[in-house]
Amino acid sequence: MQDYKKLLRSRTNRTICGVCGGLGEYIGVDPTVIRVIWLIASICSVGTGFVVYLLASIIIPEE
């Protein structure tokens, strides 16, 4: 059987729903960096990033 990583929302490293914490754990980057990038992208895209975050929090399962 092959081991693989699964993208999950973090229970321990969360600010709102754990999406950025889970993404940071999945790719091996500090979740704070993910949060800052997500915030900048959300501001530059006139709020589209917030909608994507909401969808991700619904779609990505919690660990």
Alpha-carbon radius of gyration of the chain: 12
Would you give per-residue pLDDT tens digits along the chain (63 residues)? 667 888 999 998 888 899 999 999 999 999 999 999 999 999 999 989 889 999 999 999 998
| pLDDT given for residue 47 in this prediction | 84
Question: Alpha-carbon distance 13 to 22, whole Å?
Answer: 8
CA atoms within 13 A on the CB side of 4: 4
pTM attached to this predicted model = 0.81
Tokens of 41: 């992208």
